[in-house]
Structure 1
Amino acid sequence: MLTHPSGRRAVLRAGAAAAGFAAAGLPLLPRAAQAAGTLNLVLESEVVILDPHATTAAITRTFGYFVWDTLFAMAENGAIRPQMVREHSVSADGLQWRFTLRDGLRFHDGAPVTAADCVASLRRWMPRDPLGRMLQASLASLEAGDPTGFTLTLKQPFPLLLDVLGKPNAPVPFMMPARIVEAAGSARITEIIGSGPFKFRPDLWRAGASMTLDRNPDYVPRDEAPDFLAGGKRVKIDRAVLRVISDDATSANALTAGEVDYVQYLGFDHLASLEKARGVELMGLTGIHMFQGNFRLNHASGPFADPAIRQVMWHLVDQAAILQAIGIPARFARADCPSFWMCDAPLESRAGSEPARYDVAAAREMLKRTAYKGEPIVFLEVSGSISQTAANVLAQSMKEAGFNVDEQVMDWGTVLARRGNKEGWSLFPVYSNGVDMVSPLNHFYIASTCADYPGWSCDNRIPPLLQQFAATGTPEERRRVADDIQRIAYELVPSLMWGQFSRPAGYRDRMKGLIRSSFPIFWEVSV
């Protein structure tokens, strides 16, 4: 049961929040403004890239689901359901697909959404996305008919077509006006016009401070209950303000004081106090809504270009110790998950995972039998992040096993720049949304096998299996192929899983109807 932070403690918390907002240059909104239907939200980071086809950044995907809409969308159970599409049909041979848009779809500038817009959007998105490229390779034609219908014709059956059109993995196939797509060419779009439930307000955008999204009064939701990213999206608030607060303590204090309504990721060391704060609720998640931590290895140069040296690493990852060092409470973590495709998920697997056994002594003996001669292992670490803590734990085990580890601390932007070079680094830590890791087709380090993707892991057996997985029609067969891919991945070592966990969100209990999801979703929310 929640207790009330009364007296001097409540005053101090409110003061700390106000000081934090002042330091961040963020104006405090009066309570009356909040009560009128404005939500103040602190998401994982600032939205910097606004073009959702141009990046795999999760924050841009989140922004995308506010502003744009998709032809199909994923429900909580993983099923793909129509979203902008009213109905579709497929020929007996599985090659010709016809799609009809539902009534009432309009862009934020008032123009109707047409089949030509959808065709232009798909043609722009396909070459930018791994699954989109697989679809493009199977495509014979994609043509608009009347304004509400278009036809997609395949060269060979592609059973996962709807899964690809409705996938939540970035870059998401969001639908844009054809005129904006054509004006952008190969560059990023500059005019942010979607047909989604919220409208972006460029006139109120303050880089480094806040971004404003207003309810789209012309949005026509599906006549269904909301279901994760699918179903009816009924917006009941007038405005969402995305506040930029990078400090965990400041955002936690602001949440406690009621100056913000929602914080996407809470610092684990603040959970105990927030659980006692009056008016604050925590959202812990399981299964596909959890995160998967990974250490990505560089196969292109340095010691990890040697497969034998990579194999040693499976004995040096202690998931339980890493999660404990980060401070993740047991109820928000899976301490031992060997599955590339997440645990408590449809394709959970232990296939090939026998090497994943923490044993520093065994690693030391294995390393002696390799060609390793003490070359530096350059470990890129993200300053102040939970992934840096994960890196520190692994680095210590590596040193005990006989590796010469060079830990280099920097911000995430620098890591992104450094990892683009094939030389100068050996590994880096990262964690990703579970929905991005639950299948071989979207797992960053499997789907990119033998592609020009930082890390450059390649086993020529995997790409044909990915094609086989996409062409397989039954869940049982997909699971078998996924197991085969995982066995090879354990030999290849594209990455090392350092744990599965949930980062709880916090929200004020004045928010009613908040959908439980690792994606920040605010349709159906009332205040």
Structure 2
Amino acid sequence: MHRFKIALVLGAAALSLTAPATAQEKGGVIKVATIGEPPTLDPMTSTADLVGIITQHMYETLYTFDANWAATPLLAAELPEVSGDGLVYTIPLRQGITFHDGSDMTAEDVVASLERWMKIATRGKQTAERIAGIEAADDHTVRITLKEPYAPLVSLLSLNNSAAIVLPSEIAGEDEIKEPVGTGPYKMKERKPDQYIDLVRFDEYKSRDGEPNGYGGGRMQYADGIVFTPVPDPNTRVEGAVAGQYDYIDSIPVESHQRIVDGRTEPVMLAPFGWPVFVMNTKEGVNSDLKVRKAIQAALAPQDMLMAAFGTEDFFKAEGAMYPDSYVWHTEAGTDAYKPGGDTEAAKALLAESSYDGSPLRILTSRQYEFHYTMAQVAAEYLKAAGFDVQLDVVEWATLTQRRTDPALWDIYITHSPFLPEPSLTGIMSDSSPGWWVSDNKHKVLAAFNSEADPAKRAELWADVQQAVYDEVPAYKVGNFNAVGAQSPKLKGMRPAPWPYFWNAWLEK
């Protein structure tokens, strides 16, 4: 046996998730403004960042990510022991862990939870194809047996959306979670849809020992509670930030950065944060034809889209590589197809060769992330110039996350993603993720990438996966962008993070 480790060298641009050491104070309620109402509080069933931000306070996974984006134990006692052939993962569990309903966590709960995850979560379904079996070796040990080596396994068990959360076995046996019951530092007090989600300290919570380390290490419960308030209109979020109405405000339009500086809260910059993406419906409709998708790829002008959305290159970079050059995963493979200014004539030619019959190209977007909507408006003009009839369907974010699960309702939906520490966590890598990208070439290059354990060789193999993305266009990466939020000067103990968390944070009196 050898102790499993993940090498994730993300370079100087990686976010620092380590909180500063100052005197902590207990008490108070942290008030958080979110971009809207979450479509669910079951993080297994959603890849939405909003769902992960809220539910990570109530539910926990076996592993999480530390300040260097390496997997680290959370409910597991240690990183797994892996057999020499890479097929058997033995996971020791922490003991004395209590669920919010007062029951003790055992291996039976973990097995039932992972079985539910493989059944209903997009990343769980992705993983299930490689798993031969999951069993409880004893009350505090879980054994996962794979059909083939699968390097992303621990990273998939670490993420907070489409998440492998641990539930009591009786709840894990249900398709729908009626009441949130987890092991996290905060538990549900009250939810009033479209008004607030009120979490309170879980007094029986058992933190890991040690100093906070990214999402890992000690999770201290300084605040008595956390209230998440949906504020769908971005301008209202800005005004709330300027007035000091909230302790933390998520997703502020970048053009409001100076207003935040001049107001009663402080801007929070994550740089680089991630990438806006146009996801294509490859399953049915006009985008089931590869030549139509290639025409869209040629037509779009990312430089103009990003400039309209962010206003200045201080907040974006028009770059086609799926990871910036400071990341170990950076490669230029396939990026010849990425044209910052677009190529209307090439798009027209590709469209003429395709099956496109003039049907509306339905772009599903939301104004809760204002930059999504702005990019959609610019994209629509370039697509019309190439010969498309474009239909913008603008809905609430919660509605978008529901509609995108039905392939009959859209052709493109707009979202964004942080730069994830493991490329196989990216949504399009799962056959069952909305967009439903399935091809023999995808399976071939992903299988080679995911079965390789050596980090250096994996980095080389990632180039083949990125090439496949550009060749088959399941999605269109617009570029890199920085994200802006805001927080009160009274809120201490936080560092910028793609999914902000409020354990280890406190309010200065």
CA contact (8 A) 1:381 1:387 kept: no
Residue 102 (structure 2) pairs with residue 104 (structure 1):
no
Residue 212 (structure 2) pairs with residue 220 (structure 1):
no
Structure with bigger helix share is 1
Residue 102 (structure 2) pairs with residue 116 (structure 1):
no
Q: RMSD across aligned C-alpha pairs, in angstroms?
A: 2.6
CA contact (8 A) 2:298 2:337 kept: yes
Determine the structure 2 residue equivalent to 1:519: 499
Measure the CA separation in 2 of the matches of 1:382 and 1:131: 23
- What's the secondary structure of 1:291's corresponding residue? strand
Determine the structure 1 residue equivalent to 2:38: 47
* More moved, 493-502 vs 507-516: 493-502
Determine the structure 2 residue equivalent to 1:319: 302
- Once the two structures are TM-superposed, the CA of residue 56 in structure 1 deviates from its matched residue by 2.1
Measure the CA separation in 2 of the matches of 1:48 and 1:359: 35
CA contact (8 A) 2:363 2:390 kept: no
- Runs of 4+ in structure 1 deviating by more than 6 angstroms, as ranges, are none
- Once the two structures are TM-superposed, the CA of residue 35 in structure 1 deviates from its matched residue by 9.4
Measure the CA separation in 2 of the matches of 1:241 and 1:162: 31
Q: 1:264 aligns with which of 227, 250, 257?
A: 250
Superposed CA offset, 1:324-358 (max 9, x none): 2123543332x222123456433122101111123
1:200 and 1:318, CA in 2 relative to 1: closer, same or farther beyond 3 A? same
Give TM-score, length-normalised by structure 2.
0.86
Amino acid across the alignment from 2:143: T
Q: 1:198 aligns with which of 153, 177, 186?
A: 186
- What's the secondary structure of 1:379's corresponding residue? strand
Determine the structure 2 residue equivalent to 1:63: 54
Residue 135 (structure 2) pairs with residue 139 (structure 1):
no
Superposed CA offset, 1:124-173 (max 9, x none): 112333443354334343222433223233344334332232234x2111
Measure the CA separation in 1 of the matches of 2:396 and 2:295: 28
Q: Relative CO higher for 1 or 2, CA cutoff 8 Å, sep ≥ 6?
A: 2
CA contact (8 A) 2:32 2:229 kept: yes
1:144 and 1:427, CA in 2 relative to 1: closer, same or farther beyond 3 A? closer
Determine the structure 1 residue equivalent to 2:374: 389
- What's the secondary structure of 1:304's corresponding residue? helix
Determine the structure 2 residue equivalent to 1:293: 276
Determine the structure 2 residue equivalent to 1:13: none
CA contact (8 A) 2:242 2:262 kept: no
Superposed CA offset, 1:34-83 (max 9, x none): 99411111123223412222222222222221001111111232211111
Amino acid across the alignment from 1:228: G
- Once the two structures are TM-superposed, the CA of residue 199 in structure 1 deviates from its matched residue by 1.3
Measure the CA separation in 1 of the matches of 2:356 and 2:53: 45
Larger Rg: 1
- What's the secondary structure of 1:70's corresponding residue? coil
- Once the two structures are TM-superposed, the CA of residue 116 in structure 1 deviates from its matched residue by 1.3
Matches within 5 A, 1:67-106: 67-87=58-78, 88-106=80-98
1:454 and 1:141, CA in 2 relative to 1: closer, same or farther beyond 3 A? closer
- What's the secondary structure of 2:41's corresponding residue? coil
Residue 487 (structure 2) pairs with residue 510 (structure 1):
no
Superposed CA offset, 1:296-335 (max 9, x none): 22334454333333323333322222122123543332x2
Determine the structure 1 residue equivalent to 2:20: none
CA contact (8 A) 1:38 1:240 kept: yes
Measure the CA separation in 1 of the matches of 2:402 and 2:200: 34
Amino acid across the alignment from 1:255: A
Measure the CA separation in 2 of the matches of 1:86 and 1:364: 54
- What's the secondary structure of 1:504's corresponding residue? strand
1:86 and 1:215, CA in 2 relative to 1: closer, same or farther beyond 3 A? same
Determine the structure 2 residue equivalent to 1:474: 454
Structure 2 residues without counterparts, runs of 5 or longer: 1-24
- Once the two structures are TM-superposed, the CA of residue 368 in structure 1 deviates from its matched residue by 7.0
Amino acid across the alignment from 1:355: A
CA contact (8 A) 1:293 1:497 kept: yes
- Once the two structures are TM-superposed, the CA of residue 102 in structure 1 deviates from its matched residue by 2.3
Report how many aligned residue pairs link the two structures. Answer: 479
* More moved, 50-59 vs 369-378: 369-378
- Once the two structures are TM-superposed, the CA of residue 374 in structure 1 deviates from its matched residue by 6.2
- Once the two structures are TM-superposed, the CA of residue 441 in structure 1 deviates from its matched residue by 1.8
Superposed CA offset, 1:196-238 (max 9, x none): 111111xx32222111111222222222222222111112111
- Once the two structures are TM-superposed, the CA of residue 417 in structure 1 deviates from its matched residue by 5.5
- What's the secondary structure of 1:506's corresponding residue? strand
Identity among equivalent positions (%) equals 26
- What's the secondary structure of 1:231's corresponding residue? coil
CA contact (8 A) 1:283 1:505 kept: yes
- Once the two structures are TM-superposed, the CA of residue 377 in structure 1 deviates from its matched residue by 3.8
1:352 and 1:171, CA in 2 relative to 1: closer, same or farther beyond 3 A? same
CA contact (8 A) 1:264 1:505 kept: yes
CA contact (8 A) 1:284 1:332 kept: no
- Once the two structures are TM-superposed, the CA of residue 522 in structure 1 deviates from its matched residue by 0.8
Measure the CA separation in 2 of the matches of 1:303 and 1:48: 27
Measure the CA separation in 2 of the matches of 1:270 and 1:94: 50
Residue 235 (structure 2) pairs with residue 244 (structure 1):
no
Give TM-score, length-normalised by structure 1.
0.83
- Once the two structures are TM-superposed, the CA of residue 489 in structure 1 deviates from its matched residue by 1.7
Residue 352 (structure 2) pairs with residue 353 (structure 1):
no
- What's the secondary structure of 1:488's corresponding residue? helix
- What's the secondary structure of 1:252's corresponding residue? helix
- What's the secondary structure of 1:322's corresponding residue? helix
